[in-house]
Structures are given as structure tokens and as C-alpha cells.
Amino acid sequence: MSVASPCVNVCRMSTITGWCEGCYRTIDEIRAWRRLDDDGKQTILEVIEDRRREIASGRFAPAGGPA
């Protein structure tokens, strides 16, 4: 099985979060994607889902900012 990339062709890095505004990956996660096995890719997808929930719930606070 091959895990599909979460890329949605909105490639813009947020200066607040450090995540891509389209797929919620960090630049390091984007760079590593092709080298990862399916388990590694699935782990990133789970982290991305946590990030989406954090943003949607309003709990996100940038590093160094108020919680």
C-alpha cells in the first residue's frame, strides 16, 4: 500500500505556525515525505490531523505566545 501525499497544492508556509497552509506539514515533513515508509507517512498524517483539530478548536497558540 502506498500512502498518498496530503498535499492540496496550496504551498504556502505560515509564519505563525511554521506549517504549510494547505497540508499542515512542516517544511521538514514535506522534504522527508518521499523517503518515508508507509508507517512514517501514516505518523505524519496523524500529526496533521491533530494540528487541524487544534486550529479548529481555537486552542492553538504559537510558540512563545499565550496559551
Quote the DSSP letter at residue 33: G
Count of residues making up the chain:
67
Between CA 61 and CA 43 the distance in angstroms is: 22
pLDDT tens string 53-64: 988 898 776 654
3-state secondary structure of 56: helix
CB 33 within 8 A of CB 41: yes
Q: How confident is the model over 13-60, as pLDDT tens digits?
A: 999 999 999 999 999 999 999 999 999 999 999 999 999 998 889 877
Confidence (pLDDT) at 63: 57
> pLDDT value at position 59?
75
